[in-house]
Amino acid sequence: MSQRKSILILSLLLIIAAVITGAAELKWKPLTFDNPGTKRLLKSNHGNYYFYRPLPEKSMIINVKDLTVIEIRAISKAAVSKPNFVLKYNNKSITYDLKLLSASADYQVYEPVRITLPPAVSKLELISYKNTIYYRAFKPLPVKQPKTPALQIISKAGDYKLTKENKQSGYYAFNSSIPLVFQVNKGKTLSLFIRAQLTEKVIPVFGLYQDGKFIRTVALSLKRTNTYKAEGITHLTIGKRIDFPMQDKIVRYELRPVTNHLFIARPVITITK
């Protein structure tokens, strides 16, 4: 087997594993039957739910409007030979076999049957010819996506506290070795406050980049502050403020020194959309 083919197979297996893992993490909410019969309560690690069986010679109706996938779960009071059920929709009848998942003194519990629904199906009709089997339908809950923070620091050379009259503000350092990189979520406006350490009579200059593209250079002043102090930094410049406009996408900014200075910066979200 060639190396390229081996890599393709490994990639496919990883994708399949990710899909299986993601599916296992889905959370499900029970659906109601429009016309259920008698019920039985199943208590399990996944929750306590009532399961229903149809009334004699009747089917049970499930409202599945706007759903694309459901699970049918089933339990039985006793062992059943060839357990199955039938779903009717769009003038079609499909039989689904049930596989035993676990058994106890109370119930036979079957493996969930996951069903992908075709478009424009609003109702399902569940038919069961085994009168000891009880059913419940479930729909998946929307998967909550992790919330993107308004401001996220990606890279920095250290942390400093800027002090004025016993009030402190956190600043992030960047230098010729490590740039300051931060990400701003969409719908936010940002102000950036920057200072540098003066070691010689050289104007501190850094480059500003947006999403990897150079925007402009920014020069600070040679004037020193007498009001603000940062521990470990002598001859601190007066501050400079840069305002960034609101963006309709996530934006990554990068500050790269042009001169050999230690810079400190404080990005502040000013408006949240």
Of 231, 236, 225, 238, the closest CA to residue 262 belongs to 236
What single DSSP character describes residue 233?
B
For position 13, what pLDDT does the model report?
42
Of 188, 173, 181, 165, the closest CA to residue 272 belongs to 188
For position 16, what pLDDT does the model report?
40
164, amino acid identity = K
For position 118, what pLDDT does the model report?
87
**What confidence tens digit (pLDDT) does each residue in 183-192 have?**
999 999 999 9
For the cut 50, the answer to whether the pLDDT of residue 138 exceeds it is: yes
Q: Strand, coil or helix: what is 64?
A: coil
179 in Cβ contact with 155 (< 8 Å):
yes
49, amino acid identity = Y
> What are the two backbone dihedrals, phi and then psi, of residue 153, each rounded to the nearest 5 degrees?
-85, 125
159 in Cβ contact with 240 (< 8 Å):
no
Sorted by where each starts, the structural domains of the chain and their CATH numbers stand as 27-140 (2.60.120), 151-272 (2.60.120)
**What confidence tens digit (pLDDT) does each residue in 66-78 have?**
999 999 999 999 9
64 in Cβ contact with 115 (< 8 Å):
no
Mean pLDDT of 130-149: 90
Spell out the residues 6+ positions from residue 5 whose beta carbon is closer than 8 angstroms to its own. none
